[in-house]
Each structure stands twice: as C-alpha cells, then as structure tokens.
Amino acid sequence: MRAASTRLVGSANRARSLSMKTAGLIFWIVIVMGGGVLACGYAVYRAALTPEQANQAIIEKTYIDWSQVEDDPSERLVISWMPLPRFPNGVEGAFGERIIEEIINIDLKPIFMDAQGYERRKPLMLAGGDIPHVIFEGNPAHARSDAHHGVIVPVPRWLIRKHAPVYFKMISDTDPNGWLFANAYGENWGIPTLWIDGGYPNPGVWRVDWLRNVGIERIPQTLEEFHEALRRFTYDDPDGNGRDDTYGMSGNAQAWHITFSEFFGAYGVLPFDWMELEEDGRKRIVWGGITPRAKEALEMLAEWYEEGIIDPEFVTDGMTRNQERSKFINGRVGYISQLGRYLDFEWEMNPNALKPMMAQLNPDAEIAVGSFPVGPYGDSGCRNWGSAANIIVFGTSVAEKPEIVIRALKMMEYFVANGPEVYIRHRHGERGKHWDFIDPTREYAGGIRLLEPYTDQNVWEREVLTIWRPECPLYEELLYSEEEKQHRSKYQPKDKLMVDALGKPDIVPSAPIYLSDLQNMQLTFYTDVICGKVPIEAFEQFTARWLDRGGRILTEEANELLQVRDRLYQEVRGGG
C-alpha cells in the first residue's frame, strides 16, 4: 500500500496542474515559436533565486515518497507511453507490445509521432496538462527543461537499482555518462538508454583503384600520407579520363558533429565538444574548438583547401550527406569520411551500403575502409556520440499511480535479464515469421535477415516494433555476424573513439541560452578560415568572442558538471 503522504503528493500535483496550465501553455508556445524568450526567461529565473533555492523549489514541486510505494503485480496497470519519433508508423498492439503486456501485466497506450509532431505537438500536449506517464527524451537539455517546468518527477537511482539491478549495472558498466544525462538540480530524473553503435569510431573509405593509379600501394596511415594521396587524387588524373575534374575529398560544413572529425582527431581535438585536460594533477574541462591544437588542425585544413585538394562545394553539402556520397560514388572525390562502419560499407541488408551501391553504379571502382590518420603528436581517432543515448522520464501524471514507474522498471529489467532469446524476440520479432538466419548452419555467426513482408520498413515498424527497441550489450554480440565482428575489431577499435567528456555538449544548464549561437559562430569562423576568407591569425579574436558571448559561462558550468560526473561514476560503479 501507499502511505497517505504519497496520495497527498498526487492531489497536490493535480491541483498544481490546473493552476499552471495557462502559464505552462504560454511557456511552451514560446518554445515552439522560438528560443529567444526561453533564454531570457531562464536567465531571469536563475537570477531570482539562489541555485540552492531554485533546485529545492523544483524538487519539492514533484516530490514522491518512493519508500512508501509498493507495486501489486496482480493489478493490471494502464501506461501511456510516448516514444521517440523514430517509428511514426507504429500502431498500438504490435508484436512486441502484446508480449510484454501479458508478461508484465500492463496495458500500454503508445503515442506515436513523427519528428515534426514530436517537436511541435508534444510541448502543447504537456502545456495543456496532457502528460503521458512515460516520455522518451532525446537529449539532456529536454529532460532538464521538463524537470525545470514541473512536468516530470524525479526517480532516485536507488529505486532503479532495486527494481532493475541488471539494467542499472549494464548502464553503469557500458557508459555511465547516461546517469549524468538524467541528472539535474541534484536529482535523477529518468532512466538512461544505450546506443551501442555510438560506442565505436567510424572510419573513412578510400578509392583503392585511384590509390594504385597514382602510385600508392597501401592505405594511408599518417596525416602526411593522407595529404599526399589527396594531392595526387586532385592533380594526377586518378580516373585516367584526361580531365581536371577530381578532388581529394569533400567534407560537410553543415554537420558540426562529423565535419573533418578524423583530421581534428589527428591533433587530439574534439572541436565542438567538451574535453577533459589534466595539468599539474588537476582536471579541468575546456571547449575543444578554442584550444591551440584546434588552431593547428584548422590551419592545416586551410592549407589543404588553398592547395585545391578539398572540394570547394564542401560548404554547401547537405546535412544528410547525400551529396557527399554522390561525389564519392560518381568519382568526383577519392576519399569520404565516416562511412567505413560495417552497416554503411557492406551490410547486405542495407540497400544504401556503399560497397554494393558502388558495385552497381560504378563496377570498375574498388574501395576499402581506411585508418584514422596519425598526427604530429601521435594522436588518431574520430568523434562519435558514445553509447549513452536517451533518457526515459516519467510525467507528473504518475503521481496518482506511482507504481507505474516500478512496473516500467520491471519491464526494462525483463528485456535484459532473461537471456538472449527474450531480448532478440522483443528486438526483432519471432524467428521464422519476422526474421531468420542468413545461413542456418552458422546461426547468429552468419547474421540475420528480415523476412517478407517485414523487409518493408513501414510494415516492420507497424507490426513488429513496440514502444522501445532496447539495446543491450549483454546480448548484442549475438546480433552481429562474424564478419561484422571482425570488421569492428579491425577498422573500429574502441581506443580510437573520441567522445565529449560530459557525454554531449548541450548537457550544461545554460546551453539553451548560448550553445546554438556559439556553434553557428564557430562553424562560420572555421569555414571562413578553411576557405581563406579569414586568416588563421584571427583565431585569438574568435576565442575571445566565443568566451564573451556565453562560452565562459558554459565552461564554468561544464567544470561544475565534471565534479558531478566523477561523483556519479563513483556511486554507480562502486555500488554507493
């Protein structure tokens, strides 16, 4: 039974929900229309209260005495669930949903949306008091905003550890930054999820036939070797057509998270992320894009551009990278970054995989996965997001039935704590109906394939997927063919992975106010330097502007979060 104190919290939440609807609606409409007033309101809020007062006020609004909450597993609970907008064609009653409903004794009411609906409709729902029990939030900034505006409840880590111990340990062992994503105002506000692919670096791909045509017999390994190969691709007619129509490589000036990542990595730099440095035994956080080594890498790229080996259209190549891929496939450039992971390079179930597509459209071409270039200080690697992914948060609507949180934890524990068959059945469906082994004699070692009609993504989403597609490293190896495992081991070693020191750059509290402006300013400056419009000597002025326009505040907050991160690491890994 729940104590009276818990019921009172639910009543208080209901009363507060009615009184806050109008104010909340105004706030969320402001978010939908633009971020300027949001930033102003957030700054005013911070100025009105001390940090301790602000944190306490937020926590008190949504407090539940979890020590008094017990779950009766015989009671069937109705749970409304808003997943991320990755499967907008999903419908209630999919295969995985039906199974888990019977096992956990719940009735799930999924709320499926596309990306636009998630960005625009969801805030209006929350503002109007239509708050789902469970909400998937894509990044820490959204979860923090939910907490700040009183639409979700804190969920202590001890509660998660108690009801989902295997899941808790899995997150803590795989990427404990997930707990930092869920942390705000001194409390834990949700349950982290994982993205296993984010824990591997993604190498580039070379035209090997071009390398041979210009007299290079091995895949380039160092920055000097990269430079020489790209120079020859530009000036030594690698395709033999007698025309000056090739470049070494392109890039993507619009995608901050991947642009020239392996070349900054050769200088040990993450230009658009927080980096942890240690000096005289003391750790501190800095923004990678204003460090001296970032300047060195930028100067090198400017020299390469002036030399003509970078396609000048890299400035306008789109975020989806379709233009960049097209240039590589059609023989305009001989190197492309980031597309060397198995799924993008040769996985037969991916119709857009580079190798089979190249074989179809340009059968004379020969391509191979590259290495990460080693730079002047011995560094090499490239950026990825890390394995910590999203946050599952719980709306204030659970105050009337807090057992919903415990039941959701039991569901998540079920997925990962009951062996590979349970996990794979929920993730891919039923063998023989939804999927089968590519080679039955090799079973999982030969890989798996979807069966008709589930090869159609829309059909698969609608009839197989449920509210959540879990990722579990305990069993995920079963889903990789032996070929993919070998590919990862050879081309994607984890020691080449470079990740934001705090998991994501927008995790700092004032990111909604400053970060987008700073990123745009940095992208513009970097692009102008590379293209020769601005001299590299302007780097110090850029650094000063970056600090003055909010970067100094973000850096202070990042260093505060470093202390929080280290305490969380000790707690979740040490059993505290």
Rg (CA), the chain: 25
Q: 267-289, pLDDT tens digit by residue?
A: 999 999 999 999 888 999 999 99
CATH says 205-383+508-573 is which class? alpha beta
331: nearest Cα among 240, 415, 422: 240
219, 211 contact by CB (below 8 A): yes
- 335: enclosing H helix or E strand: strand 333-336
> Is residue 519 over pLDDT 80?
yes
Largest CA distance in the chain: 84
According to DSSP, residue 549 is labeled I
Q: Which of 347-356, 420-429, 527-536 has the lowest mean pLDDT?
A: 347-356
Sequence-distant (6+) residues with CB within 8 A of 366 are 207, 208, 209
In the prediction, which pLDDT does 60 show?
73
Average pLDDT over residues 311-328: 85
> Is residue 438 over pLDDT 60?
yes
Please provide the DSSP assignment of 157-187 as one string: HHHHHHH-HHHHHHHHHH-THHHHHTEETTE
231, 306 contact by CB (below 8 A): no
Instruction: Please list the helix, strand and coil fractions of the chain in percent, rounded to the nearest 5, in that order.
Output: 55, 10, 35
Paired with 247 in beta bridges are: 333
In the prediction, which pLDDT does 255 show?
84
Q: Output 548 or 278, whichever has higher pLDDT.
A: 548
**Tokens 């979807």 correspond to what residue?**
450
**Angle CA(315)–CA(319)–CA(321) in degrees, nearest 5?**
90
* Most confidently predicted of 344-358, 418-432, 439-453, 489-503: 489-503
61: nearest Cα among 133, 141, 149: 149
> Is residue 418 over pLDDT 50?
yes
Give the C-alpha separation, 334 to 365, whole Å.
10
Angle separating helix axes 165-174 and 403-417, nearest 10 degrees: 70
In the prediction, which pLDDT does 248 show?
97
Backbone angles phi, psi at 91, to 5 degrees: -130, 160
122: nearest Cα among 153, 90, 151: 151
**Distances in whole angstroms, Cα of residue 438 to Cα of each of 108, 310, 426, 443:** 33, 41, 19, 8
% of the chain beyond a pLDDT of 70: 88
Beta strands in 356-492 (DSSP E): 367-369, 382-383, 388-394, 435-437, 448-450
Give the C-alpha separation, 212 to 238, whole Å.
9
The alpha carbon of 54 is separated from its chain's Cα centroid by a whole number of angstroms, namely 29
Give me 297's structure tokens.
């890498």
CATH (residue range 4-198+389-418): 3.40.190.10
> Is residue 187 over pLDDT 90?
yes
Average pLDDT over residues 352-365: 86
pLDDT band at 169 (very low <50, low <70, confident <90, very high): very high
pTM of the shown model:
0.87
Give the C-alpha separation, 215 to 197, whole Å.
35
Q: 87-134, pLDDT tens digit by residue?
A: 787 888 888 889 899 999 999 999 988 888 888 889 899 888 999 999
- Residue 209's CB is within 10 A of a number of other CB atoms, namely 17
- 306: enclosing H helix or E strand: helix 292-307
Give the C-alpha separation, 300 to 263, whole Å.
9
* CATH 3.40.190.10 segments of the chain: 4-198+389-418, 205-383+508-573
**Angle CA(519)–CA(178)–CA(494) in degrees, nearest 5?**
80
Give me 517's structure tokens.
């402006």
Q: 40-78, pLDDT tens digit by residue?
A: 433 444 445 566 666 676 667 778 999 999 999 999 999
Q: Which of 220-224, 331-335, 495-499, 570-574 has the lowest mean pLDDT?
A: 570-574
Average pLDDT over residues 496-522: 96
Paired with 109 in beta bridges are: 80
> What is the average pLDDT value for the chain, to the nearest integer?
87
> Is residue 36 over pLDDT 70?
no
Give the C-alpha separation, 57 to 44, whole Å.
15
